[in-house]
Amino acid sequence: MATTRAVVLARIPEGAPRPEDFALATLPVAEPAEGQVTVQVQALSLDPYIRSTLGGRHLGDAPVGVGDLIPGRAIATVVDSPDGALPAGTLVLAETGWRECAVVPVSAATVVTVPDGVPATAALGALGMPGLTAYAAHERHLRPRLGDTVVISSATGGVGAVAGQLARLAGARAVAIVGSEAKAAMAVEHLGYAAAVVRGADGWAERLREACPDRIDGYLHMGDQTTLDVVAEQLAVGARVSLCGLMDQYNNGAPTTMRAGAIMAARAEVHGMVVYDHHDLAAKHAARVGALIASGDLTLHEDRYVGLDRAPEAFARLMTGQNNGKVVVQVGD
């Protein structure tokens, strides 16, 4: 039986995960049966939802215990297909976990198609689940109109970078909330935000108010409790709020609450964003965002690491807000 290098859980993280919570291991790779293929992983997608599976549960996903393979999706190349359903050399998107080689069902492997000139890793980010999350929130929750002010927290991450650009392209004034001055510069200069505010900096609530003189019409939340509180007090009447991610909850923080009085005063709509509810938009998302990337109107924003052994470090940085873009770990060539 063949083997593969993999990343497993070494211990249940307490709070934000650290690289030492993970370990490299050698796992067996079985021969593929009919209806299965063996794939060689090319690039792993690292996503915040993985944190809630480590010793716990994420919307029905099985909990990951000590010694278990870390879950995750990847772009991979088919190297063995007993029934020929997916020929060798086919590039697919599949749930492989953090490893170099895996056997997956043909039914769970999606052939990767991206527009000419667009890198295949876009299928993990702007054209993958993060991009669909941003697109669904944009279309169904935020619904920006010409001249609206739309605020995006975690604005340079995998979801935020796409959502902010979609808001701008819709004619809204997109304002970024980020974690550092470097990210603020990136948001404005690289992603086209009209303004960027560093959360937690002295006087940042007032700077957000200055950046949003007509108050906030749409807000995509992927931040902490303090960020949610500050934004809630600056909502415009009729504002739309999409609760997409609770970063402090991922790392075992206190339960997040909302300021009911501020929501009532703004007559605001508040939506819970679960991307699994919006797969009916997948084709429209792929066509729209794919065309925007191909034309250069929407910028891909990736935070790339090379080597499977760097996945624990990359994930720890992601979960402490140190990433700058969609986190991708290049495993193969």
Q: Report pLDDT for 98.
A: 98
Is the pLDDT assigned to residue 21 strictly greater than 80?
A: yes
Tokens of 122: 């876009």
Q: Report pLDDT for 60.
A: 63
pLDDT in tens, 220-233: 999 999 999 999 99
Q: How far apart are the first and last CA of the chain?
A: 24
pLDDT band at residue 255 using 50, 70 and 90 as cut-offs = confident
pLDDT in tens, 41-88: 999 999 988 998 897 766 667 789 999 999 999 999 999 999 888 999
Residue 197 · residue 234 · CB < 8 Å: no
Is the pLDDT assigned to residue 24 strictly greater than 90?
A: yes
Close Cβ partners of 287 (under 8 Å, ≥ 6 residues apart): none
Q: Report pLDDT for 106.
A: 96
> What values do phi and psi take at 26, rounded to 5?
-110, 120
> What values do phi and psi take at 201, rounded to 5?
-70, 155
Q: Report pLDDT for 59.
A: 62
Measuring CA to CA, how many Å separate 35 from each of 40, 97, 124? 17, 19, 24
pLDDT band at residue 268 using 50, 70 and 90 as cut-offs = very high
For residues 314, 319, 321 and 323, what is the CA-based torsion angle, rounded to 10 degrees? 20
**DSSP 8-state symbol, 168:** H
pLDDT in tens, 203-253: 999 999 999 999 999 999 999 999 999 999 999 999 999 999 887 777 667
> According to the CATH classification, is domain 2-126+300-330 in 3.90.180.10?
yes
Residue 19 · residue 86 · CB < 8 Å: no
**Nearest to 314, CA basis, from 5, 17, 15, 4:** 17
In the chain, list all ranges with CATH 3.90.180.10.
Answer: 2-126+300-330
Sign of CA dihedral 226, 228, 231, 236: negative
pTM of the model: 0.91
Please provide the average confidence, as pLDDT, over all residues in the chain.
Answer: 94
| Domain 129-277, CATH number (from 3.40.50.970, 1.10.3720.10, 3.30.1490.110, 3.40.50.720) | 3.40.50.720
> What values do phi and psi take at 31, rounded to 5?
-70, 140
Q: Report pLDDT for 83.
A: 87
In the chain, list all ranges with CATH 3.40.50.720.
Answer: 129-277
Beta strands in 211-280 (DSSP E): 216-221, 235-243, 269-272
The residue written with tokens 């999606």 in the block is 110
Q: How far apart are CA 133 and CA 201, in angstroms?
A: 28
